[in-house]
Amino acid sequence: MNLATLPAGQVIPLASACGLLLAGVLFSVLTLWRAQSLLRAARSETRDPQAAMQPAIGVLQERLEALQNQVEESRRYPPTIATVPGLPRSALNLEKRSQALRMHRRGETPAQIAAALEVPRQEIELLLKVHQVVLRSI
């Protein structure tokens, strides 16, 4: 069969079919080549997986050592609890004040009253002085 003997209407479809066939073969060859290169890369990664992970392992080891140092240092120097020096004790409330006046009327000394009510002696003395001033003014 000679191309010159083919009618003009049949040459164009035959050329189109040959072009499509050639493009298909070329596409298949390129696909196989790409699949083969991907397979080679996957095999090289599976041969030595630790080599691929070595940088990440190194970073994690450094962080672990830093945390270990922090823990050791915190054990060496335990945190101190902040205490407020000289917190004032509760002042005389109405109940303690009336009880102190009752005890004074019974004849107890300011030191005894302060010890019984767990209040500073100076507060009891001040209370008694103020109470005497108030009684004088009435």
What does the pLDDT look like over 88-132, one tens digit per residue? Answer: 555 668 888 999 999 999 999 999 999 998 889 999 999 999 999
Domain assignment present for residue 77? The answer is no
Domain assignment present for residue 120? The answer is yes
In which band, very low, low, confident or very high, does the pLDDT at 137 lie, cut at 50, 70 and 90?
Answer: confident
Q: What distance in Å separates the CA atoms of residue 33 and residue 20, rounded to the nearest whole number?
A: 20
CB 45 within 8 A of CB 52: yes
Domain assignment present for residue 36? The answer is yes
Residues sharing a CB contact under 8 Å with residue 125, sequence separation 6 or more, in sequence order: 110
Instruction: Compute how many other C-beta atoms are within 10 angstroms of the C-beta atom of residue 2.
Output: 5
- Of 10-14, 61-65, 83-87, 113-117, the one with minimum mean pLDDT is 83-87
- What is the per-residue burial (b if ≥16 Cβ within 10 Å, else e) of 52-77? eeeeeeeeeeeeeeeeeeeeeeeeee
Domain assignment present for residue 84? The answer is no
The strand ranges marked E within the chain are none
Query: Global pTM?
Result: 0.36
What does the pLDDT look like over 29-82, one tens digit per residue? Answer: 999 999 999 998 888 766 666 776 788 888 999 999 999 999 888 888 766 666
Q: What is the mean pLDDT of the chain?
A: 84
pLDDT, residue 60, reads 92
Q: Total domain count for the chain?
A: 2
Domain assignment present for residue 14? The answer is yes
Q: What distance in Å separates the CA atoms of residue 27 and residue 19, rounded to the nearest whole number?
A: 12
CB 119 within 8 A of CB 96: yes
pLDDT, residue 2, reads 63
Domain assignment present for residue 4? The answer is no
Domain span at 114 = 94-137
Domain assignment present for residue 65? The answer is no
Domain assignment present for residue 100? The answer is yes
